[in-house]
Amino acid sequence: MPLIKLVLTTFLQSFTNIFFMFLVLIVYWNIKRVAFFEETWLGFFRYKISDQLLERLLYGMLSGLMASFIIVILGITLDYRAILMIWPLAIFLMLFSPRYLCFSYAAGILSLVSLIFGWPDIDVSATIALVGVLHLIESILIYFDGYKSSVPVYMEHSSFNPIGAYIMQKMWPIPLVVLLIPDSAAQLAGSGINMPSWWPIFQSQGAGGMLAILPMVAILGYGDIAITQTPRDRAKKSGIMLTIYSVTVLTLAVISSRIYWVKYLAAVSAPALHELVIIRGKREQTEGTPLFSVPWKGIRIQEVFPDSIGEAMGLKQGDILFSINGKSVNSIKGVEEVLSDSPSFVWLEVKRDSEEIILEGKDFQEGISDLGVMFVPRNTSKYFRMEDEKGIIVKWWNGFRQKHNAGVGEG
């Protein structure tokens, strides 16, 4: 009980950490950026920015508390110098690509440098174990929250032109607590805690005896695209794949705490396997059969907007609309023509999977001029181009090369 109380007390202190405030600002910026992107596609954004921010904070708090207890129970102890170095390195890597802000890259690089050159002198096993725990929590966040607020877009496809797709961009600020080894922690914390006799499960450097506990913050992000699956199914599969990754990395970290040479394998695996998961997932989506393609007959529904007549009628993603009030529709323009008189009652002939169903809707006050859905168009000039997002340094370097090449060409 005293241990639980101490973890909770220290956990609450992380909310006053200036770095946590900074991470909240990053998450807020991410939400606004996605909302602006959504507005350019839909003409509006569906969910309030404040509501999304509060939801991210809640998910981050719960997952951070879970991670904190896992770290303490396993006995993963860190050198404070490792924490101070991982953060700046992660921010530096973000300048090359936003996805490199992930701890797996910074921790892997720092661990390899420590193993090869002997500096900085950090506990590699504990550092990689922290990566495993954070990604285990991230996999849970992705599984349950990653699909929400995904933005529907159109993409160009070589065989199915055009197709519907979804862009998923999420960030969560994570407050948590970590255990620090005595040499660096004593001067910072000023007090220690006595751990139970069965502790630690994880054989970290300096584990056992008196250890300090300190609040820490992290940020977890999820960027993905859903083409062959619905956003929910895509997020679930991504969460499962990341769970496999995190368990693998955590297992290697535990083994490396007992077998020295496995530290090298763990340090390399953290960023390499993470990159493999990302590449494999992207390839599955770009090379697979699109789920939201244009049908031979009718028009496919890609998205049903919240609080719309379409949602009230029971329309769902992927439904194919054949007719409205008995009139066949094969294009967005056809739907607009049928609803141009704003009928007070409509009945829709819809194909869902292999079943054809009839759905009804009514609005006797204002009539129905819009179903409140997004269709996959048969023809469009508006496409989303999927490109790897570049960081500030890469953008600057590309701009410099273009100017240099232009100067050489003029010369």
pLDDT at 198 over 80: no
Range scoring the smallest mean pLDDT among 107-116, 340-349, 391-400: 391-400
Please answer whether residues 6 and 189 qualify as being in contact, where contact means their C-beta atoms are separated by less than 8 angstroms. Answer: no
pLDDT in tens, 317-364: 999 999 999 999 999 999 999 999 999 999 999 999 889 999 999 999
Mean pLDDT of the chain: 87
CA distance 179 to 177: 7
Question: Is it the case that residue 187 has pLDDT exceeding 50?
Answer: no
CB atoms within 10 A of CB 54: 11
For residues 260 and 114, the answer to whether their CB atoms sit within 8 Å is no
Burial of 398 (0-12, 13-18, 19+ CB in 10 A): exposed
What local confidence, expressed as pLDDT, does residue 391 receive? 67
Q: Quick one: pLDDT at residue 273? A: 96
390 pLDDT above the threshold of 70? no
- What distance in Å separates the CA atoms of residue 241 and residue 59, rounded to the nearest whole number? 20
Q: Tell me how far apart the alpha carbons of residues 47 and 40 are, in angstroms, rounded to a whole number.
A: 15
Query: Which pairing describes strands 77-78 and 163-180: parallel, antiparallel, or unpaired?
Result: parallel
How wide is the angle at C-alpha 187 spanned by C-alphas 182 and 190, nearest 5°?
90
Query: Quick one: residue 318, left, alpha or beta (phi over 0 = left, psi -120 to 50 = alpha)?
Result: left
Residue 182, judged by CB atoms within 10 A of its CB (0-12, 13-18, 19+), counts as middle
Question: pLDDT tens across 206-242, in order?
Answer: 555 567 788 888 888 898 999 999 999 999 999 999 9
C-alpha triplet 192, 194, 200: angle, nearest 5°: 110
Name the amino acid, one letter, at 358.
I
Mean pLDDT of 40-66: 93
The arithmetic mean of pLDDT across residues 147-164, rounded, is 88
Nearest C-alpha neighbor of 106 from the set 271, 220, 247 = 271
pLDDT at 189: 40
**What are the start-end ranges of the H helices in 146-213?**
182-189
Q: Could you give the CA distance from residue 106 to residue 122 in angstroms, rounded to a whole number?
A: 13
**Integer Cα distance of 258 and 273 in angstroms:** 22
**From residue 57, how far is each of 15, 24, 28, 66 by CA, in Å?**
11, 8, 10, 14
The CATH fold assigned to 295-375 is Pdz3 Domain (2.30.42)
Percentage of the chain exceeding pLDDT 90:
60
Cβ–Cβ under 8 Å, residues 68 and 176: yes
Q: Strands 77-78 and 373-375: what pairing?
A: unpaired
| Residue 386: predicted pLDDT | 76
Q: Over the Cα atoms of the chain, what is R_g? A: 26
Question: From the CB of residue 135, how many other CB atoms can be counted at a distance below 10 Å?
Answer: 27
**CATH 2.30.42.10, the chain: domain bounds:** 295-375
- Sequence-separated contacts (24+) of 357-364 with Cβ below 8 Å: 359/313, 359/314, 359/315, 360/313, 361/309, 361/310, 361/312, 361/313, 363/309
For the cut 80, the answer to whether the pLDDT of residue 194 exceeds it is: no
Which residue is listed with tokens 């409205």? 324
Q: Rounded CA gap, 266 and 104, in Å?
A: 11
Q: What is the pTM of this model?
A: 0.86
Query: 182 falls in which pLDDT band (50, 70, 90)?
Result: low
Torsion sign (Cα): 402, 407, 410, 411: negative
Question: In whole angstroms, what is the distance from residue 221 CA to residue 306 CA?
Answer: 25
User: Which tens digits make up the pLDDT trace of 267-319?
Assistant: 999 999 999 999 999 899 988 899 999 999 999 999 999 999 999 999 999 99
